[in-house]
Structure 1
Amino acid sequence: MPVEIRDYYAVLGVRREASTEEIQRAYRTMARRHHPDVNREPGAEERFKEISEAYHVLSNPRSRRKYDRFGAGWRQAPDDAGPRDTGRRHAPPSRSTVDIDLEDLLGSLFGGRFGGRFGGGFRGYQSGGLGSTPVPGADTQAELTISVEDAYLGGRRRITMPGPAGRPRQYGVNIPAGVVEGQRIRLAGQGAAGARGGRPGDLYLVVHLAPHPRYKVEGRDVMVDLPVSPWEAALGAVVPVGTPGGDVRLEVPAGSSSGRRLRLRGQGVPNPRGTPGDLFAEVRIVVPGNLSRRERQLFEELAAESTFDPREAGRGAP
């Protein structure tokens, strides 16, 4: 059902004397901004329908002439009704029709999810006078999941994604060292094809980090568990700790309890444009599962000698 509006020119933000090319440019800009799959604000869908209705009428020379003469009642006017003399002159069309397809404008964004809600219902809107003006292709977006090690070290990977008509397509991707969750990698010219000789759009890969059995990444900081023995925790020690870039040595202070976080500055995810993240190793005391006779004897001697009560210490007793 057509959307009733007050002023089609005001809806598109153009002068009443605007050329067909100006109307097309205004529509492209506003359609990208207000498409409800991009704009989640209340009323976005109705606003988008209003914009599309305005373009549908003003891009067609015949319906535009009727609208200029009869205003809101243009639909009831006879097809042979001529324009009244308003002193305005519209640029004559250089060709009869040209299609503006939202699938070209929006359809391949976010992995092709556009077009489902509107189902191509705007396909075939026609306008006059656009001639062979090049129309650039839309930028597209897809998801790219990588390992924590790839994010830390970078490298080149080949990925396979759906291409035109659903056919698989391979891309070579340079993953920069220090890429983080949510960052976008741009592949120039790999987006949707342009129309009438227009340049293709770009493909943007949104990076996601795959869950890792050992590392947890928050921004550029990396968290890792650090298993230590009871005597290393009590006496202090220098122990190896694994990072996505390889093992480093870390000093465990004497008297470290489980849950203590030790910080290694600059050992987190690199930052090509600034300060790298930090690595936080959380102490986790691990006791032997099977004690030798001598180990048991030593632990028994320690138990008999020590006055330390971890439950009292946990309650904050002096």
Structure 2
Amino acid sequence: MEFKDYYQILGVRRDATAEEIKKAFRKLARKYHPDVSKEVNAEARMQELNEANAVLSDPEKRAAYDQLGRGYQPGQEFQPPPDWDAGFEFSGQGFSPGEAGDFSDFFAELFGRTRAAHRFNSGQHGHFQARGEDHHAKVLLDLEDAFSGATRQISLRAPRIDAQGRVVLENRTLNVKIPQGVHAGQVIRLAGQGAPGIGSAPAGDLMLEVRFRPHPRFRVQGRDLHLTLPVAPWEAALGTVVTVDLPQGSVKVRIPEGAQSGRQLRVRGKGIPGAQAGDLLLDIQVVLPSADTARARALYETMARELAFDPRQEGRD
């Protein structure tokens, strides 16, 4: 996927004000609108302009795009890093997957979020009221929090337009209770922490979508934990019991006799806790000791003479 420079497409500086972006878009739209333009590429150019304007005219999308795209050049090979938008607080004014599909794959990859519903009602005496919009943010947690539960300080960045018409980021920090057993994709709702309501209507909620930071040992899939388990050759050949440290506590696991690299062991109920706890899946990796001493080398030479083992012939008979 190629990186798109929306500022270059609209012909504006990266520090352009909201008004400058609006004027640039209107000027180019008059030139390339397919209903009036004589340019041969008018339709494709207009679609490109609409896409650039959809991002740069929206303070939230523009702020996220600015952070993500720093250092990239137009047409450069680009792949957004995992959870690139973590910590950004978005309002409910998103794009549905269908709407995002009207633009490029680059746009859909970054901003193809489901639009949140708006709830309106009329108050007494005809006064208009509107419940505040729900806000959304992706947050990164440590895997250990899912095992023990915790209260964490979560910092969020919310873009707004300043008095000069430029996008600035406002930070806020919330103390959030992380429930034990939380899993990736789960949403933690903070009532009343979204946009304020109109009139006497209540504020919206803040919806925190949970993701886990990369863990040095475990890979997370749903509630299951995956771990590569190194074992010595004699442990794999003879079988043994090993202790596996978990994000909280440990578990003893029996390595069956004759285990080979690539074999997977499942320990039920030792993944992320919950009403139905996940499993722990162990991928065995047989690790050979180095023949870096005379004693180690002699042992390998003895094995080579006495075992009569040829791994390239195994399974051919």
Q: TM-score range by the shorter chain?
A: 0.5 to 0.7
* Structure 2 letter corresponding to 1:317: R
Does 2:240 correspond to 1:237? yes
Identity %: 43
Does 2:208 correspond to 1:205? yes
* Structure 1 letter corresponding to 2:263: R
Distance 2:300 2:219 in 1: 35
The structure-2 alpha-carbon separation of the partners of 1:186 and 1:288, relative to structure 1 and needing over 3 Å to count, comes to same
Does 2:262 correspond to 1:263? no
Q: Please list the CA deviations of residues 12-31 of structure 1 after superposition, one character each: whole Å capped at 9, or x if unmatched.
A: xxxxxxxxxxxxxxxxxxxx
Number of residue equivalences: 203
Does 2:316 correspond to 1:317? yes
* Structure 1 letter corresponding to 2:171: P
Larger Rg, first or second structure (1 or 2): 1
Q: Which residue of 1 aligns with 2:149?
A: 154
SS across alignment from 1:240: strand
Q: Which residue of 1 aligns with 2:85?
A: none
Alignment of 1:1-318 (within 5 A): 37-41=94-98, 131-162=126-157, 166-271=169-274, 274-313=275-314, 316-318=315-317
Q: Which residue of 1 aligns with 2:4?
A: none
* Structure 1 letter corresponding to 2:309: F
Q: Which residue of 2 aligns with 1:62?
A: none
Distance 2:216 2:178 in 1: 22
Gaps of 5+ in 1: 1-34, 46-109, 115-126
Q: Is the 8 A contact 2:262 2:283 kept in 1?
A: yes
Higher relative contact order (CA 8 A, sep 6+): 2
Gaps of 5+ in 2: 1-91, 103-110, 116-121, 161-168
Shift of 1:167: 3.0
Q: TM-score, normalised by structure 1?
A: 0.57
Q: Output the aligned Cα RMSD.
A: 3.2
* Structure 2 letter corresponding to 1:287: L
* Structure 1 letter corresponding to 2:302: E
Q: Is the 8 A contact 1:36 1:44 kept in 2?
A: no
Shift of 1:151: 2.7
* Structure 2 letter corresponding to 1:141: H
Q: TM-score, normalised by structure 2?
A: 0.57
Shift of 1:312: 1.5
Q: Is the 8 A contact 2:136 2:208 kept in 1?
A: yes
Distance 2:157 2:264 in 1: 44
SS across alignment from 1:145: strand
SS across alignment from 1:296: helix
Distance 2:210 2:233 in 1: 40
* Structure 2 letter corresponding to 1:299: Y
Distance 2:306 2:101 in 1: 74
